[in-house]
Amino acid sequence: MDVIIERACGMDVHKDNITACITTPEGKEIQTFSTKTVFLLKLVDWIKQHGCTHVAMESTSVYWKPIVNLIEAEDIEFLVVNAQHMKAVPGRKTDVKDSEWICQLLRHGLIKASFIPDRAQRELRELVRYRRSIIEERARQHNRIQKVLEGANIKLGSVVSDIMGVSAKNMLHAIAEGTDDPQELANLAQRTLKRKKDDLELALQGYVSPHQRLMLKTILSHIDFLTEQIDMLDQEVARRVSSYQEDIERLDSIPGISTRMAEQILAEIGTDIKNQFPSAAHMCSWAGLVPGHNESAGKRKSSKTKKGNKYLRSGLTESALSVRGSKNYLGALYRRISARKGKKRAGIVVAHAMLRIAYYLLTRKEMYVDLGEDYFDKQRQQSIVRHALRRLEGLGYQVTITQPDAS
| pTM of the full structure | 0.81
Average pLDDT over residues 284-305: 72
- Split at pLDDT 50, 70, 90, the class of 124 is very high
| Statement: residue 178 has pLDDT above 70 | yes
Fold (CATH) for 120-240: Helix Hairpins (1.10.287)
Residue 146 amino acid letter: Q
| Statement: residue 302 has pLDDT above 80 | no
| Statement: residue 86 has pLDDT above 90 | no
Q: Which CATH superfamily does the domain covering 8-114 fall into?
A: Ribonuclease H-like superfamily/Ribonuclease H (3.30.420.10)
Ranking 48-52, 122-126, 170-174 by mean pLDDT, the lowest is 48-52
Average pLDDT over residues 283-308: 74
Q: DSSP of 381-392, one letter per residue?
A: HHHHHHHHHHHH
| Statement: residue 407 has pLDDT above 60 | no
| Statement: residue 405 has pLDDT above 70 | no
| Statement: residue 258 has pLDDT above 90 | yes
The C-alpha atoms of residue 75 and residue 46 are separated, in whole angstroms, by 15
pLDDT at 299: 66
pLDDT tens sequence across 381-391: 878 888 888 88
Domain ranges across the chain: 8-114, 120-240, 244-294+303-364
pLDDT tens sequence across 224-245: 999 999 999 999 999 999 999 9
Output the CA–CA distances (angstroms, integers) from residue 208 to 52, 70, 139, 388, in the order listed: 69, 58, 23, 60
| Average model confidence (pLDDT) across the chain | 88
